[in-house]
Structure 1
């Protein structure tokens, strides 16, 4: 993980049991995405702001 991530936010669509997708801004301008079910907070998908915008656009159009 190259960027440091702080202030993780849970998805509004999270399961009531706490399993969720979390998102945070990175110190290098990237966006980090992690799955709380993964068992470790060290596994983070890093996206550029452009990649993040494309992902959100695709998800909203599904």
Structure 2
């Protein structure tokens, strides 16, 4: 857990083999995204609310 992103949760689309994303909102309004296989030690992608919305729309349009 990091103090900037205190409430990580796994994606509901996580695979059983551990290929998962975790997301957490911050107090400043950004959204952090990380790879759960890194056990909190890997990089965190930091999205603004607008960037996160655009990212989700792009992913959903490819599904």
Asked whether the two chains share a fold, i.e. TM above 0.5, the reply is yes
Structure 1 unaligned segments of length 5 or more: list them. Answer: none
Structure 2 unaligned segments of length 5 or more: list them. Answer: none
Q: Which residues in structure 2 correspond to 1:31-46 (within 5 Å)?
A: 31-37=31-37, 39-42=38-41, 43-46=43-46
Residue matched to 1:28: 28
- Kindly tell me the number of residue pairs found equivalent between the two proteins: 59
Q: 1:25 to 1:54 in 2, by over 3 A?
A: same
| Structure 1 segments of 4+ aligned residues over 6 angstroms from their partners | none
Distance in 2 (CA, whole Å) between partners of 1:4 and 1:21 is 17
Residue matched to 1:19: 19
Q: Which has the higher contact order (CA 8 A, sep 6+)?
A: 1
**Cα RMSD after superposing both structures:** 1.6
